[in-house]
Amino acid sequence: FFSDESDAVELPIKFIPQYAGCYHCQILLKSSCDVRVYEIECVVNTNHAEAELEFVTPAYQAVIQDIPISNVSSQDWELQAILEGEGFYGPPVIKVGLGEAALYPLMFKPIAEC
């Protein structure tokens, strides 16, 4: 038990993840009169990425673009798709297993020239 901040000891940790995901770690600290185990969970997200797709198709004809999704995390993913804009269609949910890749079929089917 620490009585004030002057008794605190800093424990710097350097963590360099290779991939996005959830990383678990245990730190064991021992002294002659105490043993402590700290459990740490680090969640790593990828940098925000933006992409732009351009669809060109005659009116009333559909075009499908398969968007690759790779799951390099440590758990299965169930992703929800929210599509905005007229003429865009795709599955509302896609599941990508641990270590797997999947294609999200985004369809654009214009009902008029636009």
Which parts of the chain have pLDDT scores under 50? none
Segments making up each domain of the chain, as ranges = 63-108
pLDDT of residue 48: 63
DSSP bridge partners of 103:
68
How large a percentage of the chain has pLDDT more than 70?
A: 89
pLDDT of residue 107: 93
pLDDT of residue 4: 57
Q: Is the pTM of this model over 0.85?
A: no
pLDDT of residue 23: 86
Query: Angle at the Cα of 31 (from 28 to 36), degrees rounded to 5?
Result: 35
Residue type, 42: C
pLDDT of residue 15: 84
pLDDT of residue 104: 94
pLDDT of residue 57: 84
Distance (Å, rounded) from C-alpha 81 to C-alpha 68? 14
pLDDT of residue 5: 59
